[in-house]
Structure 1
Amino acid sequence: MTARLPVFPLGTVLFPGLVLPLHIFEERYRALVRHLVDLPDGSPREFGVVAIRAGWEVAPKGPDGRPLPGVGEVTLHDVGCTAELRQVTELPDGGFDIVTVGRRRFRVGEVDRAGAPYLTAEVEWLPEPEAPDEAADLLAARVIAVFRQYLGLIRNDPEEISEQLPEDPTVLSHLVAATAALTVADRQRLLAIDDTAARLRAELRLLNREAALLRQVRAVPVPLGELASPPIPN
């Protein structure tokens, strides 16, 4: 099943069930928020969040205020997640502070860059597990144990380490993917995995890798390209 969605490129990966607050000041995304708010009651107020693969959603500008030459338009990853609008605060300057929650994953199809002030895309909804999975249940217990060890290496507050983690394997897999100090590329690969058990196995490998590095050098590697990228404006 396919649908057409407004698309919001970001320098981060959104997962189902995770909260994403955004400050909206660019006019095209103000228009998107107004469009969502004006929808009839009962209509889904959601847009697609897709991580940027290359380029900048808003090109850097030179001293004259014009976009710098040679900066290509943004390219997107293939899989994103819808953000459901939960709270909107209109600001005196016409911008918005919004709170959204990740809802459902999709694969990006044809992108329309001209039909609206903001990007829209044909999207294909990706499957989510509905039946209990014994393998995922067993893996979830292992991920919880390894994740607590990992948290003990990056957090000093015992309460944060002992906080309750979800028992549902799919919910847990999304929480771990969004919470661990991973690169956008790592998170994107996890988002694209359809099977919960496969996602949990991948997270076990990543958590063990990160924990080993933290024990050795007390640091988590981040590509220099990500450190050099300008902040996302919206």
Structure 2
Amino acid sequence: MTARLPLFPLGTVLFPGLVLPLHIFEPRYRSLVRDLIDLPADQTREFGVVAIKSGWEVQSTGPGGLTAGGSLTLYEVGCTAEVRTVTEHPDGRFDLVTVGRRRFRTKQLVDDPAPYLVADVELLSEPTGDEQLAERLSTTVLDLFQRYITMMRQQTPEVGEQLPDRPGVLSYLVAASAVLPLEDRQRLLAADDTVRRLRAERTLLRREVTLLNRLRAVPAPLGDLTSPASPN
């Protein structure tokens, strides 16, 4: 299924089901918010979030992502953000609360009079893969993630009843919550199915737990990374 979406490049990866607050101050993205507000009441207020590889301004399409004229490269796979609340400030800035909704692959940028990027995208399905394998992997990943959280917080948190056991939901929660480089997060977002994502997370969590065991150090507070706020 294809769609046409406004794009919002960010220095983070958004996952389905995860909350992303945004503070909008740049004129082009103020215009994007106003255009979303003006949509009919029965239409979803949604735009595409794509992670930035490097640079600032996109012009054309190239291998491995959207490549820049002037200097920006974007990853091809992103996630739509559905606007849940909008707060407008007297000076024209906006605060948004958005929720990741569905993954997409950017096909091409389109010529559009809007001041922000607009692209034709392919909306991606959410296949599980082998369901029995997904269940087994989710059990292992859940155990590793609980150990990881315990080590990151340097205490024993009460997390057993707070984490989902549905493989797909768990896979995105782990991807969004673990302290991972942007490249690792992007690979998890782009995984073809839940089984592949859980397999990758099993490997990544084993790596992180091993490192934490060796270093006995916490790189950053976990709570600061689970709901990234971003200026634009």
> Are 1:174 and 2:148 matched, yes or no?
no
Do 2:129 and 2:195's aligned partners in 1 also have CA atoms closer than 8 Å?
Answer: no
Using the TM superposition, give the Cα deviation of residue 137 of structure 1 relative to its aligned residue in structure 2, in angstroms. Answer: 1.1
User: Which runs of no fewer than 5 residues in structure 2 stay unpaired?
Assistant: 59-68, 221-228
Given the superposition, is the C-alpha separation of residues 158 and 113 from structure 1 closer, same or farther in structure 2, using an over 3 Å criterion? farther
How big is each residue's C-alpha offset from its partner over 1:2-55, in whole Å with a ceiling of 9 and x where there is no partner?
111000000000000000000000111011111111110110110000000111
Match of residue 93 from structure 2? 95
**Cα distance between partner residues in 2 of 1:216 and 1:57:** 41
Structural mapping, 1:115-126, within 5 Å: 115-126=113-124
**Higher mean C-alpha deviation, range 205-214 or range 148-157:** 148-157
What TM-score, normalized by structure 2, do the two folds share?
A: 0.85
Runs of 4+, deviation exceeding 6 Å = none
1:82 counterpart SS class = strand
Q: 1:95 to 1:157 in 2, by over 3 A?
A: farther
- What aligned pairs does 1:181-196 form with structure 2 within 5 A after superposition? 181-196=179-194
Stretch deviating more after TM superposition (175-184 or 159-168): 159-168
Contact 2:18 2:100 in 1 (8 A): yes
How many angstroms apart in 1 are the aligned matches of 2:3 and 2:141? 34
| Number of residue equivalences | 214
1:30 aligns with 2:25: no
* Cα drift, residue 153 of structure 1: 0.9
Show the counterpart of 2:20.
20
Unaligned runs of 5+ in 1: 59-70, 223-230
**In the alignment, residue 87 of structure 2 is paired with which amino acid?**
T
Distance 2:53 2:196 in 1: 23
CA–CA separation in structure 1 for the residues paired with 2:144 and 2:161: 14
- In structure 2, the CA distance between the partners of 1:114 and 1:232, relative to structure 1 (3 Å rule), is farther
Whether the aligned pair in 2 keeps the contact of 1:10 and 1:57 (CA below 8 Å) is no
Q: Is the 8 A contact 1:173 1:196 kept in 2?
A: yes
- How far apart, in 2, do the equivalents of 1:33 and 1:74 lie? 22
Give the distance between the partners of 2:217 and 2:154, measured in 1 at CA. Answer: 15
Aligned pairs (5 A) from 1:97-112: 97-112=95-110
TM-score (norm 1): 0.84
SS in 1 for 2:135: helix
Contact 1:9–1:57 (CA<8 Å) still a contact in 2? no
Q: 1:127 Cα deviation (Å)?
A: 1.3
Quote the residue 2:147 is aligned against: 149
Identical aligned residues as a percent: 62
Of the structure 1 ranges 143-152 and 48-57, higher mean CA displacement relative to structure 2 is found in 48-57
CA RMSD of aligned residues (A): 2.4
Task: Note closer, same or farther for the CA distance 1:121–1:155 as it changes in structure 2 (3 Å cut).
Answer: same
